[in-house]
Chain A
């Protein structure tokens, strides 16, 4: 008998601190699978955000630095510019990337930094207890939008992939969902592609992943998965928004 599914080598055996069902686990696995696939764990440096995944350095077998809230793309820029032989990825939540760190992500993308950014969109601030995020859907109740997000006072949810794709500096921009096996397989392909872009020195790659936060959504895991399908995907459509070929660049 052959083992057809195993834990990726780029992850260690620690039990992750995430809540039951939390999407960070699958997202970590996909990144780790990419590190395994391209055999780059030994020359990869990850940049951890401030958010629930700040502790990701406890789970990965690659070097990892913690960035101040939202600044991961700037930290990654500093690393990649001074050691271009390293593979540098930033892993960020939606509060981290789309709110406090909006300037850093847009400008890193616009400069075409040769880095990979994995963006976890769970429509809330997880770590701080479920406050409204820039990605919170209209009508969604959170601890700071107790009557539901209202566009008059809170604005509209930001679609990051659509915002970054038109920038000339980006080479790969996709949004995927971790709601069901077939989508997870597509997301895996996307994450692989993003790392491949960096390995081939093509430029800035970005994968947004729609994930669940059962704890702060006040739902069980199954209801949360359904929410991705019923509410998130209609507003945050899945797909590859941009993919430049290596040849376009040279």
Chain B
């Protein structure tokens, strides 16, 4: 199943990835990481991720790896 891995410690919570995911599979956590940002996580219980890489393309901090 295609999926993504988000390095939460690198994430700055800019949410640019959230907006581009066609299935709205990324959401922001309430908790903060060591940098002090509300990082994002993949929420994909139904395994909808297609590995399209759109989220990774947008991420300025290169926190997202995509597997297919």
Residues of A at the B interface (CB closer than 8 Å) are 1-7, 11, 15-16, 18-26, 29, 180-181, 184-185, 214, 220-222, 225
Contacts and interface: CB of A to CB of B under 8 A. Distances in A.
Main SS at interface, chain B = loop
B53 A5 contact: yes
A2 B68 contact: yes
B61 to A, nearest CB: 5
B65 A5 contact: yes
Nearest to A15: B10
Given A4-B51, A181-B54, A21 B20 contact: no
Nearest to B67: A1
27 contacts: A1-B2, A1-B68, A2-B68, A3-B65, A4-B68, A5-B4, A5-B56, A5-B65, A6-B65, A15-B35, A18-B60, A18-B61, A19-B12, A20-B37, A21-B16, A25-B59, A25-B61, A26-B58, A26-B60, A29-B60, A180-B58, A181-B53, A185-B57, A214-B14, A221-B15, A222-B15, A222-B16
Nearest to A27: B60
B43 interface: no
Interface in B18-68: 19-20, 35, 37, 51, 53-54, 56-62, 64-68
A7 B51 contact: no
Interface of B: 1-4, 9-10, 12-16, 19-20, 35, 37, 51, 53-54, 56-62, 64-68
A5 B12 contact: no
Nearest to B66: A5
Contacts of A6: 65
A4 B53 contact: yes
B14 A21 contact: yes
A4 B66 contact: yes
Nearest to B54: A181
Contacts of A22: 60
A210 B18 CA distance: 21
Nearest to B58: A181
Given A4-B68, A20-B13, 8 more contacts: A3-B65, A3-B66, A6-B65, A7-B65, A15-B9, A15-B35, A184-B57, A225-B16
A221 B14 contact: yes
B65 A21 contact: no
Nearest to A6: B65
A5 B53 CA distance: 7
A184 B58 contact: yes
B20 A180 contact: yes
